[in-house]
Structure 1
Amino acid sequence: MRELVALFSEPGTLDNLGIGQLRDGLADLLFPGISTVQTRARYLVLIPWTYQRAALRKSGAALVKAADREQREMLLALREAGHTQGLIGRVAGAAVRVLPSAIYWNALQTYKILRQDTRPQHLLQIRKASANDDEMRDVSPWSTLPLPESFPTDVTEQGFDLSTAEANWLRERMVVTCEGSLLAYLLSQPTMTDLDVDYFWDLDLDGAPQELRDLVEDTELFSLTLHGASLLYNLMVGEAYEHHELTSVEAPAQHYRDELAQWSDRYWNHPLAPTWDRSRLWNRFPALPPRTQQFVETWIDGINDLGARTPADSVDLRKLISDREFQNKGAQSRLTNEKQLRLWQGASGASRLQFRWPQASQILSDISEGLKNARA
């Protein structure tokens, strides 16, 4: 639980200005099933096995408890074998509170590995069966690779490395169920493109369908333009912080004033940002709250009206930011609540949006490495 809390305390995950619905919507279009708390691809193979193994001995409500125990044993075996990169419960071990199934459940459903739209506690009708029983596979909610007889002891040797069969199976599941996404496109290529980039819009996507390239372009421009709003917000918080003579964070106002100036240079030097037509973006989200669209449009129109001048001293844009934060957070607004201001640690949503690319690139890399084993 501490690991999850720490993750959501990262500066880039906070939504001070109420743009989370757009951020998450774009991430869902690009990387379906991926979340910010996922770590390794092989969990998508291992989790179904824990439920299948539990079903050999239990049925009804007891199955879920048995699957929980199976997952804890699996995590403990991984930790004791030294497979700690991406290990959920790396510190707590078998006592971890948030199990892999809770983190990957949506992904299991998205990729049709779990064929039922249900939660773990509702998997109540799975009967006891033998591992080789064909009828069990017919009634099972899982569409996955056969349960190995050596599971879970075999994880101590293989760890999070996907076998060729596992990598091929996962790639097929994602490509078939996520058509049109960047995730499916990258996996469908004969050779995986170089994933070692900070932002996915820096990937080589020349061969991608135009619709996908349009989506990536709009996502890049959304990330670039709204980063300026986040920096201005942090500048205003930094100024309030200094005004209250708080000193734990050193000279935050000047830091964000410099950051805004650099951001302004990047914005105006971008070949597409100043003339971005946002209609494609809004067409993808017809149910978006009007206030959210209005905030984004007003921000972008405001910085374009300023020209190459930094928005740091714009009265109108400062009011836009303060009004939006209060609208989004109410009495918990840092700009009006001194108690919340004292809790500030120097950054709040100040990073550029990445739309779950760090997690997606790790999942893709895991699959790519597994596929390389077949060509070795």
Structure 2
Amino acid sequence: MIVADFMSNTSSIMQIGFVNFNTAEKKRVAKMMQLLQESEAIEELGIGRVRDHFSNTLFPGTSTLQHHAKYFVVLPSLYYHTAFKSRKFQNLAEVRTFIKEAEIQITRQLAKWDNGQVNTLEKGITGINTLKDALNDHTKYVKYDPAYIYGSGLARYGIIPDTGVERLILELNKKRFEDPHSNRIPKGDDLTEDAGDMTGEKQLIMTCGETYDFFNGKTMELSLSEKEASFLKDRIHASCQGSMLAYLIDSEFEIPDGIKYFDIEKILAGLTPDVLDIYKKSVLFSKLIHLADWRFNYRYYYSFGKSDDAEYCDKKYFELLEEYKEDIYNQKAYEALFDYIRSIDPMFTEFCKDCYEAIRTGDRSQLDQLVKTREQTVKKERSKIGNNAYRDQRRGNPDPNTFRWETVRTMVNEIRNPKQDYGR
């Protein structure tokens, strides 16, 4: 069922209502969105549940695959354009192809060009490395397209339905061609003719009110206009009230481009105590796992007799232990952390507790055995320590987990600093 409500008020926000009764589809797409949120690389120690709890609590709607706030305002407008301003579609495959081709054109317009050549060094523009081939063949576009990357966030902020947005577009498109004289539906009109009998879940597609030329436009600003920024800010506040993400958008403190996750407590002075406490716990968790990751690398290289690499990892472990010692030796704080995460992942919490005790008491051999056993439990036959299939494979140096902070820092600054003369 569909009910449209196109608002022509001063905010120029458009809403499209959708009533979804398909429980199976809802569960399937919800699972896909959960996978999107858990987009960080699968690691060997199975930290995902706790890591994503911190990420989703502090920064809801974000993902490590995301880069710029622009997509949160352009994509819903593309969905409206697809439904009401394009050709008639016969099936979902045609809708998906149209959206993909439009995404390629968005990439083209966002990209920077030098003498007719696209600058592939531009960061955060989805699909820029496949753009040249994709302009001639949409199937050669990047595997994870903008709709895939930003879909979970759009749903979390209430901008699109959490399920069936392509099906909704197809139904709206069908209705438009059945009633060609009603391209704009006044507020209150009902496309389903039975709005009073709605028992399903009403869902919305919302747009910011800016106009985009998806196929014929020359360039598109990566920065937000004031209208775009205001719209996205309002949606985040409406759907994520009380989160650290919402706080940062309104914070009086500047957020320097290079500021690190462990160093942001000084700009969180106005954050509610409960959320600030979650942030502090996330830092404790990140530092503990960072140390465990270096011991994993040590044990990995040691298992293949690569003494130089193992010695390097051992050295880095002690350097970090010295750097983190003020937090690491705060037993009361770590006990509170373990109490907090126990309901999220009880078995993993016990592993963390055991690792912490080994680190605190200086028992490196016990710590090494813990990470080896944990990997075997998590990975089973795909375990890497001592597995000759990985003997010649080098490992990257572990970084501390920052719970999508790099993405958040960029997008928050884009929302806080829209381009003043945009479109003029």
Cα distance change of structure 1 residues 258 and 145 upon mapping to structure 2, 3 Å threshold = same
| Cα distance in structure 1, aligned partners of 2:257 and 2:339 | 29
Alpha-carbon distance change, 315 to 272 in structure 1, aligned in 2, over 3 angstroms: closer
What's the secondary structure of 1:103's corresponding residue?
Answer: helix
The code of the aligned residue for 1:148 comes to: T
The AA in structure 1 aligned to 2:233 is R
Match of 1:264 among 317, 321, 324: 321
For 1:107, the equivalent position in structure 2 comes to 153
Paired residue type of 2:95: L
Aligned residue in 1 for 2:272: 209
Q: 1:46 aligns with which of 74, 79, 101?
A: 74
Partner of 2:126: 88
The aligned runs of 1:194-273 (5 Å cut-off) are: 194-199=256-261, 201-203=263-265, 204-241=267-304, 243=305, 251-270=308-327, 273=330
Q: Is the 8 A contact 2:152 2:162 kept in 1?
A: no
Among 54, 58, 61, the residue aligned to 2:88: 58
| Structure 2: 5+ residue stretches without partners | 1-39, 135-139, 192-202
Matching of residue 293 in structure 1 with residue 342 in structure 2: no
Give the match for residue 122 of structure 1: 167
Structure 1's consecutive aligned runs of 4 or more residues displaced over 6 angstroms after TM superposition are: 135-140, 371-374
- Report SS of the residue matched to 1:157: coil
- Does the 8 A contact of 2:70 with 2:222 survive in 1? yes
CA contact (8 A) 1:333 1:340 kept: no
For residue 208 of structure 1, report the CA deviation from its aligned partner. Answer: 1.3
The partner residue of 2:99 within 38, 54, 67 is 67
Match of 1:107, as an amino acid? Answer: G
Q: Does 1:368 align with 2:412?
A: no
- In structure 2, the partner of 1:337 is 387
Instruction: Kindly provide the CA deviation profile for residues 211-268 of structure 1, in whole angstroms up to 9, marking residues without a partner as x.
Output: 1110111011111112111111111112223x1x6xxxx9311211110111221232
Q: Is 1:231–1:256's contact at 8 Å kept on the other side of the alignment?
A: yes
**2:49–2:345 CA contact under 8 A, matched in 1:** no
Query: What is the match of residue 28 of structure 1?
Result: 56
Residue 5 of structure 1 corresponds to none
Q: Partner of 1:8 in structure 2?
A: none
* Contact 2:223–2:419 (8 Å) recurs in 1: no
Is 2:381 aligned against 1:325? Answer: no
Aligned Cα RMSD in Å?
A: 2.9
Cα distance, 1:194 vs. partner? Answer: 3.7
Where do 5+ consecutive residues of structure 1 fail to align?
1-11
Could you tell me which amino acid in structure 2 is paired with residue 184 of structure 1? A
Whole-angstrom distance in 2 between the partners of 1:284 and 1:217:
13
Which stretch has the larger CA shift, 145-154 or 156-165? 145-154
Could you report, residue by residue, the CA deviation over 1:102-155 in whole angstroms, capped at 9, with x for unpaired residues? 1100000000011x220444334223366644369976941112362644544x
Check the 8 A contact 1:77/1:153 in 2, yes or no.
Answer: no
Instruction: Decide which structure has greater strand share.
Output: 2
Number of corresponding residues: 347
Query: 1:77-104 CA distances to partner (integer Å, 9 max, x unpaired)?
Result: 3336568431111110133132100110
Determine which structure has the larger helix proportion and give its number. 1
**Counterparts of 1:131 and 1:273 in 2: how far apart (Å)?**
63
